[in-house]
């Protein structure tokens, strides 16, 4: 059975990634966040195709489902800033 860590390694070996998270504990269904400079100038379908290419035959043989969120490095940086930039300081008198 394939582990999330093994799947992460397969993606890393086939695609340069600035950030990669892979989750999944049943050996067939996985979720991934993939940040790669290879995604620059490509739409989401093309980005996902690059991940599928990195996995090769494993995608049809070992992986039943892979839900992906793909980002260019700039999009990832902006996403992180937006997610954490909305944190409110709840101390009295700070908002």
Per-residue pLDDT tens digits for 50-91: 999 999 998 888 898 999 999 999 999 998 777 765 544 444
Mean pLDDT in the chain? 88
Q: What pTM was estimated for this model as a whole?
A: 0.83
Q: What is the DSSP string of 4-61?
A: HHHHHHHHHHHS--SEEEEE-SSSSEEEEEEE-GGGTT--HHHHHHHHHHHHTTHHHH
Give buried/exposed letters for 33-52 (b at 16+ CB in 10 A, else e). bbbbebbeeeeeeebbebbb
How big is the chain, counted in residues? 95
CA distance 59 to 49: 11
């Amino acid at each position: 059975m394939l582990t999330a860590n093994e799947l992460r390694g397969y993606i890393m070996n086939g695609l340069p990634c600035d950030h990669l998270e892979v989750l999944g504990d049943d050996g067939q269904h996985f979720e991934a966040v993939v940040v790669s400079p290879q995604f620059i100038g490509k739409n989401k379908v093309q980005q996902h195709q690059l991940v599928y290419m990195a996995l090769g035959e494993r995608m049809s043989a070992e992986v039943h489902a892979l839900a992906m969120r793909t980002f260019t490095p700039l999009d990832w940086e902006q996403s992180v800033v937006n997610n954490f930039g909305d944190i409110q300081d709840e101390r009295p008198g700070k908002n």
